[in-house]
Amino acid sequence: MKIDILTLFPEMFEGFKNESIIKRAIESKKVEINTCNFRDFAKNKHKKVDDTPYGGGQGMVLMCQPVFDAVEHLKKENSKVILLTPQGKTYNQEKAYELSKEEHLILICGHYEGFDERIRSICDEEISIGDYVLTGGEIPSMVITDSVVRLLPKVIDDASHLNDSFNNNLLDYPTYTKPRNYKGMKVPDVLLSGDHAKINKWRLDKQLKITMEKRPDLLKGKISLEKDGIKKSKNKIYLDDIKDIKVTEILPKKKKTGKYKIEKTTKAIAVTVFKPNQIKGYKLKGKNNNKGLAKILIVKNEFISKIAYKNVLKKVDVLARRFNAALNSDEDDDDTSRVLGEAEMLRQMIISMYANYLGAKKLDEIINNINRLVNEFVKNKTMKNSLLPKENTKSTMRM
């Protein structure tokens, strides 16, 4: 592979190219890394590469001509030209693997306040290494070069990068070396057992836990269950009876209907990790025929709150309908006593069973709503009883 880096500061790359794995890769001719100062391609007397922006504004902008000529000088039929810019797609390990298959990369480092918009026209792709601002594209070009070079054949042992963080959308598992016991911190027994099947299962378990704790966003839509044991397939990880792993959230349908359902076991679901007896969770019965997934224990607080609030609103709605039925019933005393008793029971049940899930704000909202229904019912019932019996007037409460 060949990598050409267009930069105004080639001296920044001297240490980068002459240390560690990058140095060995260059010496073994696995990669050729060159820096090109596109100031050398400027045609003006003072080798100027920037100018003030049309329309006014702060700072200086890189000019087209030096960059265009530098790219034209370096570009071959198999070249891929990449512009390093905050507007590009965010760089990740998947993109690193993709770029490692290219024969020739040309990386353009921006500087100052940006570059002439027309420079984009000669680029095949735009990449950003994150949502923050740097003084130039030199450090991003080093990041991309380092991540790509280490993936080239025989630069490092293939097994080393196959277990890297972000492969299969998981962070790396913990590793240990001698001594076995350091200041009371012992190496896990399973790593000393010699049982590679157990070690592999332990490592996958740890990868899942660490990823969920530190980067749960990486797991979204990537985890599914299978009964016959731990298996791997492209873009998915299958789990079976790994301790401390529980199903937490059933992903919604693509159409936002407000309803959630249990998908088939081959579909993706989200998982989270928690310590036994630390979180009780919220039990929910699934409405489908998939054995083994009829009941779910949700432990993700945001999802618990959403489901609990929805269930409580349904119960309050039922209470309101019963109030209306009692308001128009001829059996005044019995129906009035019964429905007021139901309201009190519902109020106490919500406080005792749902308070931890709803939070103070939503709990107050629900209790106030029940109190409002009770007061309105009593007011309407009193008004109805004060009317003449022959009027037989029906009343309706506001929902």
Distances (CA, A) of 22 to 30, 100, 145, 156, 162: 10, 14, 9, 10, 19
Q: Tell me how far apart the alpha carbons of residues 49 and 36 are, in angstroms, rounded to a whole number.
A: 14
Cβ atoms of 355 and 367 within 8 Å: the answer is no
Packed helices 20-27 and 138-149: angle between N→C axes, nearest 10 degrees: 60
The catalytically annotated residue of 116, 140, 150, 205 is 150
**Whole-angstrom Cα distance, residue 386 to residue 286?**
49
Q: Read off the tokens for 397.
A: 């409460």
Contact 259, 249 (CB under 8 A): no
Neighbouring residues of 13: CB distance < 8 A, sequence distance ≥ 6: 5, 7, 33, 35, 138, 142
Active-site pick, 102, 125, 126, 164:
164
Q: How far is CA 24 from CA 142, 156, 159, 375, in A?
A: 16, 10, 18, 81
Helix/strand/coil for 44: coil
97 Cβ partners below 8 Å, 6+ apart? 151
Among this protein's residues, is 150 annotated catalytic?
A: yes
Query: What backbone phi and psi angles, to 5 degrees, belong to 34?
Result: -125, 145
From the list 113, 172, 226, 365, the catalytic residue is: 113
Tell me the DSSP string of 254-300.
SS--S---PPPTTS-BEEEE--TTT---EEEE--S--TT-SEEEE--
Going by the DSSP 8-state scheme, the letter that residue 154 receives in this structure is T
Active site residue 50: no
CB-count exposure of residue 314 (10 Å: 0-12, 13-18, 19+):
exposed
Angle at 118 between CA 45 and CA 131, to 5 degrees: 110
CB atoms within 10 A of CB 187: 16
138 in active site: no
Instruction: Report which of 219, 130, 96, 97 is spatially closest to residue 169, judged by C-alpha positions.
Output: 219
244 is catalytic: no
Q: Which residues are catalytic?
A: 86, 113, 150, 164
